[in-house]
Amino acid sequence: MLVVDKVSKQFKDKKQIVKAVDYLSLTIPEGHVVGLIGENGAGKTTLLRMLCTLIAPDEGKITLDGNDIYTHKEQVRKRMGVLFGSETGLYSRLTARENLEYFGSLYGMTSHEIKNQIEMLAKRFGMRKYLDRKVEGFSKGMMQKVAIARTLIHNPDIVLFDEPTTGLDITSSNIFREFILQFKKEGKTIIFSTHIMDEIAQLCDDVIMMHKGQMVYEGGLEELYEQENSRDLNYLFTSKIVRGDLYV
Ligand SMILES: Nc1ncnc2c1ncn2[C@@H]1O[C@H](COP(=O)(O)OP(=O)(O)OP(=O)(O)O)[C@@H](O)[C@H]1O
Ligand SMILES: [Mg+2]
């Protein structure tokens, strides 16, 4: 279980101070698929960057199964797969396979483990045909699939995706969605940000709504529907922001 406890993060932009995440508390239970929504600049990426130990909060604490994630950085990183939007992190001069092998080796996997994992991922994402082609020249969707495979190479039990389907075509988005459902069946925890409400509605157990760094809603999707007597996420999101329901 991931617990965010009264976490704040601000950035100093010349003379201005931006409160990217403002006294945020939330709990992400194991095995849940959690969708993160909010307007541009709401603090989603900043929250995800803190969850995966890329940046530290100014205040507050984040724990994974009771342990502070910053004092157990290495263990936490081994358990997590992380993908930030279109920052694929791939080396264009290497083939897809070579990229995956490289990232696998960074996690200390044996070549046998890497081979099996690549085989499984290539099959799952339909990447076999281009596994041995250089990444430069790949289409956006091909690249994104390899990038997703890269985040999964070490078989993490928690995955964080920041806008994973932005720019993907319908087929690639569907592959991603199927992957989420499959991953969920395996009991993994998935947290992803998106601006596509359908993805939340179709995939998520829980939703986190952020607005200007603060929490507007955190909890079960069904509970939200019941509480607000509507299943229209677009409407719910807008009305909550307009009403300014702040769960702090
Ligand atoms: N490294 C940084 N330096 C300065 N300001 C930053 C930095 N990172 C984030 N911010 C600011 O923090 C706020 C939250 O940004 P963040 O990227 O977390 O939002 P977001 O919800 O991911 O938005 P989007 O939907 O556009 O991706 C914004 O005002 C942003 O300008
Ligand atoms: Mg973002």
pLDDT (0 to 100) of residue 116: 97
Over its length of 248 residues, how does the chain's per-residue pLDDT go in tens digits? 999 999 999 999 888 999 999 999 999 999 999 999 999 999 999 999 999 999 999 999 999 999 999 999 999 999 999 999 767 889 999 999 999 999 999 999 999 999 999 999 999 888 999 999 999 999 888 888 899 999 999 999 999 999 988 877 888 788 788 889 988 999 999 999 999 999 999 999 999 999 999 999 999 999 999 999 999 999 998 888 877 654 43
Three-state SS annotation for 31-71: CCEEEEEECCCCCHHHHHHHHCCCCCCCEEEEEECCEECCC
pLDDT (0 to 100) of residue 223: 95
**How much distance in Å is there from the Cα of 185 to the middle of ligand 1?**
32
CATH architecture of 2-243: 3-Layer(aba) Sandwich (3.40)
**How much distance in Å is there from the Cα of 103 to the middle of ligand 2?**
24
3-state secondary structure of 128: helix
**How much distance in Å is there from the Cα of 41 to the middle of ligand 1?**
5
CB-based pocket (< 6 A), ligand 1: 11, 13, 18, 20, 38, 40-46
Q: What does the CA dihedral 223, 63, 157, 131 come to, rounded to 10 degrees?
A: 110
- Please give the Cα distance from 48 to 139 (Å, whole number): 26
**How much distance in Å is there from the Cα of 120 to the middle of ligand 2?**
30
Ligand nearest to the CA of 22: 1
Q: Residue 236 CB: number of other CB atoms within 10 A?
A: 22
User: Domain limits of the chain?
Assistant: 2-243
Nearest CA to ligand 1 atom 16: 43
Q: Write out pLDDT tens, residues 77-105.
A: 999 999 997 678 899 999 999 999 999 99
3-state secondary structure of 231: coil
Q: Residue 202 CB: number of other CB atoms within 10 A?
A: 13
pLDDT (0 to 100) of residue 247: 45
pLDDT (0 to 100) of residue 125: 84
Ligand nearest to the CA of 84: 2
Q: Residue 126 CB: number of other CB atoms within 10 A?
A: 13
pLDDT (0 to 100) of residue 230: 93
